[in-house]
A and B are shown apart, each in its own frame.
Chain A
Amino acid sequence: MLAAIGVPSVEALFDRQIPEAVRLRRPLELPAGMGEQDVFAHLRALAARNVSAEDELSFLGAGMYDHYVPALIDMLMERSEFLTPYTPYQPEISQGGLQVMFEYQTAISELTALPVANASVYEGPSAVAAAGYLAKLHNGGKRFVLSAGLHPHSIETLRTYAHGYGMEVVEVPLRDGVTDLDAWTRAIDGDTPSGAYPEGHTLKGAGRQVSAAIFAQPNFYGAVEDAAALSAAAKSGSAPRDGAAGAGTVNAPVVIAQVDPITLGILAPPGECGVDVAVGEGQPLGNRLDFGGPSFGFFAAREEYLRRMPGRIAGETKDVDGRRGFVLTLQTREQHIRREKATSNICTAQALNALACVVYLTWLGRQGIVELGELLLARTHYARETLSALDGVEPLHTQPVIREFAVRIDADVAAVKRRCAAEGVNPGVDLQAITGREEDRGGLLVAITEQRSRADIDRLTEVLGAAIAATDQRSASKMVAA
């Protein structure tokens, strides 16, 4: 090979192309390579130091959930033909992948009751930020109004992106566990909303230029929001159209909802509640926990936003012989043709994770997604009832919940969790630790999946009750001693 190239050695290939001053002349300081067996042993040893849902009875949620993933998904995701190809740039030999995208887009459109959906984006919170960018491109507005019921990671991600593309962010508080409708309406109409402005943000000038109004459904605290009312309030009382020259025209704000997809068998879908763009974390649909990723974000919208949607889209067409086929379409919107005018910089779809999603939805089927929803609804209700009956536990709110709920416990949450852990139970997410809100002190977010049976919930009640009592006693005895 070297003879064909015309160089004396492999070294020469680099000597002739890399200036000596930037040439690394020492070995990389990394552990020596190992054979497969030893690598496996090392990775297994690391796995053994993690307490997974396999090792404890887990009620952790807050965006990712321990749902049952059927075996056929594992099998399909490991097939070479789905696992190893690249983005379908040559559609003639990528009809499998393209048709999967088309089917996935159809499934998401059905679930959300919105007509257009893309082939997926990275995950939930960045999908919210991408939807915000779409709104900004659409109407040139200056501000996002968002509900404090959004996932804290979505809020923080949106703030990071918004700082980048120059938008103000205003947060509307909750009341009784759901978005305060009066405060929401006022914030969108441009008056000073009641509630907190975190981190010294202030409204710059009078400005009726709300680009998007964003809420979560169900919200982070598990409560079902009145989505139709929130959407209507965003559209109706909003600023009049600014009819002068071109730029800066503001229409009604784009209504964006971050939705938990597993609830859409029984919960009114965003498309029927006046929502313009529905996004969300797709992990519950056939994807693993994987310590937070990879998963996918879904993105669906009304027809008029089709040409502003970020990410990949698969479209139907015909070949030269009239056969039905699929291609990546509307690619001019993406990064690689429009470059600086692109609707986003996303150049991948989470194709493999979207495959798991569409297979999962197909496996659940039209009846199954309803049955699953009803099961979650009933068990979550039962869990909230039984936990709330414990001493020292009260619900944070009494709104309808579907698969997750929040309680306040009368003891130090971290200490209670440690006691539960010793009994092999993880009772849920420490609310204040993730939201940072003072009013969430003592809060616990409890998630129910179809893998948590009544017996499991009863065990949770037993263990949590004992842990709270023991923690109370410890603090009580400390106080006496002091």
Chain B
Amino acid sequence: MAEANYPAELLYHPEHDWARVEDDLATLGITWYAQDALGEVVFFEPPAVGTMLAKDEPYAEVESVKAVSDVLAPLSGEIVEVNEALADDPGAINVDPYGEGWLVKIRLTDPPERDALLDAAAYSATLGG
């Protein structure tokens, strides 16, 4: 994706992770800023379905040619689905970070945590000029 983009319907964690919340499920991924900083993603291996995520804790790594970055969980929950397509095409994280580039889906264990997250405007503001 060529231009910085932060969809309004998502919630954001300051460490450059996003969440799409639908009832008690959330889809998670990394933001445009994170994929831009990393460069072209070459490898992503999700944790197993059933793994418990804790808010603010790292749960996986995204690897590019020049760097590896922790992916933090913006919300706590249990993994119910992982994006298997990324094994063959990790570049989807760069091209479509909010769509095809989703990482995992979780069932929330503490839904009120979402109140601590930022909206698109607040997150953009943290990125500065």
Contacting A at CB under 8 A, from B51-84, are 51-52, 59, 63-68
Interface readout for A214-258 with B: 1 if CB under 8 Å, 0 if not?
A: 000000000000000000000000000001011000000000000
Tell me the complex Cα distance, A341–B62, Å.
13
Interface readout for A335-357 with B: 1 if CB under 8 Å, 0 if not?
A: 00110010000000000000000
* CB of A201 closer than 8 Å to a CB of B: no
Contact A337 B67 (CB under 8 A): yes
Rank and list the top 5 A-B pairs by shortest CB-CB distance, nearest first.
Answer: A332-B68, A245-B52, A338-B68, A332-B63, A337-B67
Chain A residue, CB-CB nearest to B66: A337
Q: With A246-B47, A307-B43 known to touch, is A332 a contact of B52 (CB < 8 Å)? A: no
Binding site for B on A (CB under 8 A): 243, 245-246, 307, 331-332, 337-338, 341
Chain B residues with CB under 8 A of A337: 66-68
Tell me the complex Cα distance, A307–B51, Å.
21
Chain A residues with CB under 8 A of B63: 307, 332
**In whole Å, how far is B71's beta carbon from the nearest beta carbon of chain A?**
13
Contact A332 B47 (CB under 8 A): no
Q: With A307-B43, A332-B63 known to touch, is A246 a contact of B68 (CB < 8 Å)? A: no
Choose one: B51, B64, B65, B66; the contact of A245 (CB below 8 Å). Answer: B51
Tell me the complex Cα distance, A321–B52, Å.
47
Tell me the complex Cα distance, A337–B66, Å.
7
Chain B residues with CB under 8 A of A338: 67-68
**In whole Å, how far is A139's beta carbon from the nearest beta carbon of chain B?**
14
Tell me the complex Cα distance, A2–B47, Å.
61
Tell me the complex Cα distance, A322–B85, Å.
28
Choose one: A243, A245, A307, A332; the contact of B67 (CB below 8 Å). Answer: A332
**In whole Å, how far is A41's beta carbon from the nearest beta carbon of chain B?**
51
Binding site for A on B (CB under 8 A): 43, 47, 50-52, 59, 63-68
Chain B residues with CB under 8 A of A243: 50
Tell me the complex Cα distance, A338–B64, Å.
11
Can you list 16 residue pairs at the A/B interface with Cβ under 8 Å?
A243-B50, A245-B51, A245-B52, A246-B51, A246-B59, A307-B43, A307-B63, A331-B65, A332-B63, A332-B67, A332-B68, A337-B67, A337-B68, A338-B67, A338-B68, A341-B68
Chain A residues with CB under 8 A of B66: 332, 337
Chain B residue, CB-CB nearest to A333: B68
Tell me the complex Cα distance, A307–B61, Å.
12
User: Knowing that A332-B65, A332-B67, A337-B67 are A-B contacts, what are 16 other residue pairs whose CB atoms are under 8 Å apart, sorted by A's residue number?
Assistant: A243-B50, A245-B52, A246-B47, A246-B51, A246-B52, A246-B59, A307-B43, A307-B63, A331-B65, A332-B63, A332-B64, A332-B66, A337-B68, A338-B67, A338-B68, A341-B68
Tell me the complex Cα distance, A245–B51, Å.
6
**In whole Å, how far is A404's beta carbon from the nearest beta carbon of chain B?**
42
Chain A residues with CB under 8 A of B59: 246
Chain A residues with CB under 8 A of B43: 307
**In whole Å, how far is B123's beta carbon from the nearest beta carbon of chain A?**
25
Tell me the complex Cα distance, A116–B101, Å.
29
Chain B residues with CB under 8 A of A331: 65
Chain A residues with CB under 8 A of B47: 246
Chain A residues with CB under 8 A of B52: 245-246
Chain B residues with CB under 8 A of A245: 51-52
Chain B residues with CB under 8 A of A341: 68
Chain B residue, CB-CB nearest to A329: B65
Tell me the complex Cα distance, A74–B67, Å.
39
Chain B residue, CB-CB nearest to A245: B52
Tell me the complex Cα distance, A211–B68, Å.
25
Chain A residues with CB under 8 A of B50: 243
Tell me the complex Cα distance, A331–B64, Å.
10
Chain A residues with CB under 8 A of B51: 245-246
Tell me the complex Cα distance, A478–B36, Å.
83
Chain A residue, CB-CB nearest to B43: A307
Chain A residue, CB-CB nearest to B59: A246
Tell me the complex Cα distance, A341–B63, Å.
12
**In whole Å, how far is B103's beta carbon from the nearest beta carbon of chain A?**
16
Tell me the complex Cα distance, A331–B47, Å.
22
Tell me the complex Cα distance, A341–B58, Å.
13
Chain A residue, CB-CB nearest to B63: A332
Interface centre among B52, B59, B67, B68 (most CB of A within 10 A): B68
Tell me the complex Cα distance, A331–B43, Å.
13
Chain B residue, CB-CB nearest to A246: B51
**In whole Å, how far is B86's beta carbon from the nearest beta carbon of chain A?**
15
Chain B residues with CB under 8 A of A332: 63-68
**In whole Å, how far is A303's beta carbon from the nearest beta carbon of chain B?**
13
**In whole Å, how far is A329's beta carbon from the nearest beta carbon of chain B?**
8
Tell me the complex Cα distance, A246–B51, Å.
6
Interface centre among B43, B63, B64, B66 (most CB of A within 10 A): B63
Tell me the complex Cα distance, A338–B62, Å.
12
**In whole Å, how far is A378's beta carbon from the nearest beta carbon of chain B?**
49
Chain B residues with CB under 8 A of A246: 47, 51-52, 59
Tell me the complex Cα distance, A338–B38, Å.
12
Chain A residues with CB under 8 A of B64: 332
Tell me the complex Cα distance, A243–B50, Å.
9
Tell me the complex Cα distance, A246–B64, Å.
24
Chain A residue, CB-CB nearest to B67: A337
Tell me the complex Cα distance, A243–B64, Å.
30
**In whole Å, how far is A40's beta carbon from the nearest beta carbon of chain B?**
46
